Structure 1
């Protein structure tokens, strides 16, 4: 099991590949032996034919011919069984290793602590699928590379025994082929890495556009959105063409060089037989090997390309697996019960020395005049910004967040963003993902999601599409709010929970939140008059600091800037 500490350690693509090899060393060893037997058997076939021709022409014996046929049968059986079981072992190890990496990347992507990686969710999805599969290919590639080397080596030795020049020709030709292809494979690695990144960005872009399809229709942004996606997709297509061109050049060069080597071996053997330096059996063996060696040479020359592709994918996986969390786990302690929240002289981004405290059980609303101020405050409370990246202190029930494990903070303090994700599943599974909440009905009623539940015959078991594609913006927002309320945490922070609902619904939601959360600490970052009026106290953040405090109605009567900012 991977620990959080191990996930925080820096990992390069080469380390990931070494890990994959180390975890599958047994399967790779057996696979190498069996695939080596397969390649040796393939190579032995033309050698056996040459020996049969040589001895049959000399002895002209029926017994020798029968023995030769039996030997060929043994070789064919060995080739068939070794391929079957060798590939079974390697492919099982490959798929198992791909599963491990998919799970590990997904676990990192789903960590509650945000990571300092410039990757969108769509890109992480690509890394957790395609890149994980291509990285795991190293488990299969290495045994195939070694077994192909075995075939080339056996062929070179057999030809060398017939005539040293033939063996040296095979060895020199193989080295030359690999040298040329090694240069091309490095180009493939860099091109493939860039292609994977651009395709992932295009996938992330289209996912974001689908999520915002309804708002785009609303303000007529469809055409601009299409153009932005078309630009990203075109870049991905152009890079794919580059990769295809490089792959084509690689495959064509490999095929051409292999054919040249096979032809050179055949012509040299023909010349040696013509001059009487080798026998007719050796000629048959050499011509047969020149044909059979094409397959292991093709595999041998293809392997560097797969190795570079696996390494490019591993480097992309390392972006997720080795990215440090923005907040490391604190000591294994738990804050005292109560649920107070204190912000003490916090400076970060648009926040300039924010200082306030929320006593246990109070419903506090925060009116931020600038959206950036609200976003930065929500990020800090959600531990999306590590304590080492801002000045000041945030305390939960009197204990600093930096001293608490992230899991403990999340259990006691829940920050629900204004753009909370909706998952494919049912309304019930979105509201109560763990299936442990005892307040689902109350949360549904408080968030005014009752109309959505009543609208469908399945009720809470109504199927929701990925990202809530079959719900309106207001329905998605109320579903996200219901999930936050059903969590029933000690301290709840809501960031603009009603921006997509109408004024009447907003008024009822505000009263319901105040009633449902009575006696528990609740903070709402909002400019909604309904929520501000329902709060016990309102804090005004202007220019990144607290500039006023009081009830909503007191501030309306005494603060002109506040009245202009929130009055609708």
Structure 2
């Protein structure tokens, strides 16, 4: 992603131009085929008028056979051009929607800067509905041109019969589009707001699902549901407003198209009555007046779809141009190096400084939970290096100079609320199927009882977000995944808050044993983990205020004893 100092927000129009440019070949082929379809459709009433005209003058079977053959050719052209034209356009539409979904999902998976207010539920909506609606522009433009072809062919044919009929179609079409263009702007603005509110409601649902059990625990579920009801109500009201505007637009378009068709029919009837056009031309005019309503309807609806695609593209730009919080350098850390935090100022952190030597097991006892969370965020590069003072060095290199891939390969930060995915126990521990040391990680995290409980063992199914696991089981599964990664540096944030004291004691010993010779930092208040560490750093007021072994701190630091003793 671009540097935010030089980055300019990408407007929706730029995204639409990119989509159009990438599919210019398919759109050209689709426009030709759909234009041929509309021209053949328009030719049908023209052919009927000519048949009536010639039949009245020449009633031979040969003329009738030629007429039937001409109609057969027109019908075949209509069928084949529509079939292949829509196939080309829909394939391009589907492919382009897939491209944008992948792009949005890729950007959404990268942590965004803290000033970007986009939640996972909103990104999901943008990656699905908005990506699809943006890609609709691939079909909209060719259909717009093909509808224009039908209107032009009809106007020319009617103009050849009588100039007034042709002018009536042209003037009427311009007037209809002028009225509807004004209305379509309101639809675009309303649709963008509706999509934003629906996305916020989706994000609220995602947050509720994640926190449902804790909410029930302290009785906050009713307040949370009330909050969601408010957000959902706002989305419903906006949806009704947009539906009302869409209904008005569609009704107005239909009424104006019907008025124009009636005007063409009545004018043609009056001209025929005056003897200025023939009976065959009257049949053609009435047929075109009825036929032209369909391309006019399509033609008049195109501005609405363009505005909807533009609104969706604007929302996609929020994700695609969100400044990244991750490192953007190109360097790689030196293997076997240390983890250094040097004078970091961010939120509650006030010049935090410490070093974890290569192969050392260090624990941090943070008296303020927010300070612990901010430290984990900084180390995970969820907080952009440019947004805080001081530096973090991994293997002797500043984290801002490292590539994202290098940081992820070298330093893993496992959050206290690690996500659990639908699949199996095995796919959650080793998502890539790379043959990581799964068995050792399962044993170290004390997940063995969960595996033994089920006949499928590690292949036991896991529901989305670990819905069929307890809180402790989910936490141990997340810990097993972190240990199986076997990275050179591992940071664990409160990895055992949901397990009992006995299990916690065993996990602490197992982590120390499994990670021997690997750099490990645990941010925790667990006495078991603190005791298993080589040394403990006390984080209070945003700085390190004490440093020693857990047992020495218990013996000589009363505040520490009160904070961690259970």
Instruction: Give the structure-2-normalised TM-score.
Output: 0.97
Q: Which residue of 2 aligns with 1:290?
A: 289
- Counterpart contact for 2:26–2:88, Cα < 8 Å: yes
Give the secondary-structure state (helix, strand or coil) at the position aligned to 2:355.
strand
Matched, 1:205 2:213: no
1:444-459 correspondence runs (5 A): 444-459=442-457
State how many pairs are aligned. Answer: 565
* Residues in 2 aligned to 1:164 and 1:172: alpha-carbon distance in whole angstroms: 12
Task: Report if the CA contact (8 A) 1:437-1:486 is conserved.
Answer: no
1:388 aligns with 2:386: yes
Q: Distance in 1 between matches of 2:443 and 2:176?
A: 72
Residue 412 of structure 1 corresponds to 410
Q: Show CA shifts across 1:220-275 (max 9, x none).
A: 22222221221111111111111111111111111011001101111111111111
> TM-score with structure 1 length normalisation?
0.96
RMSD: 1.8
CA 432–113 in structure 1, closer or farther in 2 if over 3 Å, else same = farther
Contact 1:115 1:325 in 2 (8 A): no
Is residue 335–residue 395 contact of structure 2 (8 Å, CA) maintained in 1?
yes
**Distance in 1 between residues matched to 2:174 and 2:111, nearest whole Å:** 51
1:22 is aligned to 21
CA contact (8 A) 1:8 1:325 kept: no
Q: Within 2, Cα distance between the matches of 1:455 and 1:492?
A: 29
* 1:235 counterpart residue number: 234
Q: What SS class does the counterpart of residue 345 from structure 1 fall into?
A: strand
| Deviation (angstroms), 1:168 | 0.9
Shift of 1:209: 1.5
Contact 2:329 2:403 in 1 (8 A): yes
Q: Distance in 2 between matches of 1:9 and 1:100?
A: 22
More moved, 78-87 vs 198-207: 198-207
Alignment of 1:285-434 (within 5 A): 285-331=284-330, 333-434=331-432
- Distance in structure 2 (CA, Å) of the matches to 1:69 and 1:136: 41
Contact (CA 8 Å) 2:113, 2:322: kept in 1 or not?
A: no
**1:250: which partner in 2?**
249
Q: Return the alpha-carbon distance in structure 2 between the equivalents of residues 353 and 193 of structure 1.
A: 43
CA contact (8 A) 2:327 2:401 kept: no
Deviates more, 1:425-434 or 1:220-229: 220-229
Shift of 1:111: 3.1
Corresponding residue for residue 472 of structure 2? 474
Deviation by residue 1:185-221 (Cα, 9 ceiling, x = unmatched): 1111111111112112222222222222222232222
What is the match of residue 67 of structure 1?
66
For 2:522, what is the secondary structure of its paired residue? strand
Shift of 1:112: 6.2
Match of 1:152 in 2: 151
Q: CA deviation at 1:4?
A: 8.3
| Mean Cα deviation higher: 66-75 or 25-34 | 66-75
SS of residue in 2 equivalent to 1:267: helix
Q: Tell me: CA distance 1:281–1:115, structure 2 relative to 1, closer, same or farther (3 Å).
A: farther
Provide the secondary structure at the position in 2 that maps to 1:531: helix
1:115–1:150: structure 2 CA closer, same or farther, 3 Å change rule?
farther
- Show the counterpart of 2:80: 81
Q: Distance in 1 between matches of 2:3 and 2:346?
A: 27
